[in-house]
Amino acid sequence: MNATRSIATAAAVAALLWHGAAGATDIPLPPEQAALHVLNRLGYGPRPGDIERVTQMGVQRYIDSQLHPESIPMPAALAARLDALETARQPAGRTLAQFLAVREMARDEGEEGKARRRALVVNIAEQTAEARLARAVDSPRQLEEVMVDFWFNHFNVFEGKGLDRALVASYERDAIRPYALGSFRDLLGATAHHPAMLFYLDNWLSTADGFVPRRANAKVKTAGLNENYARELMELHTLGVDGGYTQRDVRELARMLTGWTFNPRALALRNEGFVFDARRHDRGDKQWLGRTVHGGGQDEGEYALDVLAMHPATAHHISYELAQYFVQDAPPPALVDRLARSYLDSKGDIRTVLATLFASPEFMAPEAQGAKFKTPYQFVVSAARAGSAPLAEVKPVLGALNRLGMPLYGCQTPDGYKNTEVAWLNPDALSRRIGIATAMGRTLDAGALQATLGGAVSPRTRDAVAASPEPLRAAMLLGGPDFMQR
């Protein structure tokens, strides 16, 4: 059977399954289904034997271990693979120095220089992606990987923008990963200070109105007052679009953050990242969120982060996003309110808020089971885990994500990728997923795959798979509605 006919046949059978897909039942979750539920929500789905393992250890014990990833040993093979990714491990300054060097070559040495630049950019991108994907597929610290992806998306930067090609690996490694289950204020501060964010939202160029470099011919990058970061800091990162601030608050916050910058040359030469340049700072008093902020220095911006991190609107905004990700696209308001209280009571401790969420009746409710439609990233990673196929090459995975409309680190806008069904479920997207499922399924044993997925495979799907040609059965499991839900 040729590839085109395989995809067409798989698509036809999958369409029948989607048309008759059953909704959630009112029956309480049996132990195996509860195990599958937490594997799909706290991580990227089961690997062979995972459902049995979590059932035996108990769902609560599994949740507790995932909330404390430092207690879970990292597999030696994965640790060795990550250690071998030198470009992904090295300091941001070194990567940026290499990037700037080949960029000059591309300008001065014609086609040879351009080829070197392309090769370096590809190497940076592939090693950064391999570090992320290898962990997502193979790490037993699944919740940690889910939260790294969640927070990167929340504090999104676009890899394709200029210097950020060289800075994304450090941004995820140094500003996101260490704080993914810690203090939101620490996470907020780490992203605010990182050169990748300063560059992406242009705050590195922002100065007080009327700022003039000391020397007329000085090569100082400036843009006057730039409001991009201040706006997204309130709208996306903290208070939310309905957080009660005004356009004046955006401008006043931008004034408070003037002078928050970095020098690409100093970063490349000495690995010096964030700096506060007092010469660029607007020293005047500000009226922000109903407060008078007297002119000072860097402490104005730090004060703003303190206020934003513990604002009730931020607690609600973050709680809504977490509930939407882990429970339902339209999360129950009562759950969001409880999470917001947990956030404020714990002073923004992410681990505590997640523990409250996972202990909630809404999280384990039957109607929450399978209520989330997988994003392309979740689909591809969960397929790799379920098939237990070694992640030998990242290029095919990156190609699949590109075809599905969710290139890794490729969201151009600061709001990041959506995680709702309406964003990803449409006929064209399903057709593309089925094509990828068909390609992946060619190398998988359908019987072993079905055993790995356990109760996730409905009787309807089992019957359809059994009636399909042997070469298509694994593709039917990966391309049907049961597997697309989590």
Domain locations along the chain = 3-44+373-402+427-484, 312-368
CA distance 316 to 86: 40
Mean pLDDT of 201-224: 81
Is residue 382 pLDDT above 70, yes or no? Answer: yes
Q: How confident is the model at residue 110 (pLDDT cuts 50, 70, 90)?
A: confident
pLDDT in tens, 47-98: 999 999 999 999 999 999 999 999 999 999 999 999 999 999 999 999 999 9
Q: How confident is the model at residue 15 (pLDDT cuts 50, 70, 90)?
A: low
Give the count of beta carbons closer than 10 Å to the beta carbon of residue 255.
24
Chain length of the chain? 486
pLDDT in tens, 263-297: 999 999 999 999 999 999 999 999 999 999 999 99
Is residue 3 pLDDT above 80, yes or no? Answer: no
pTM recorded for the entire structure: 0.93
**24-27: Cβ within 8 A, 24+ apart:** 24/366, 24/367, 24/368, 24/369, 24/370, 24/371, 25/366, 26/366, 26/367, 27/366
Identify residue 87 by its one-letter amino acid code. T
Evaluated on CA atoms 209, 214, 217, 221, the torsion sign reads: negative
Based on its alpha-carbon atoms, the radius of gyration of the chain, rounded to whole angstroms, reads 24
Give the count of beta carbons closer than 10 Å to the beta carbon of residue 222.
17
CA distance 136 to 144: 9
Q: Give one DSSP letter per residue of 193-236, joined into a string.
A: HSHHHHHHTTGGG---TT---SSTT------SS--HHHHHIIII
Amino acid 43: pLDDT: 98
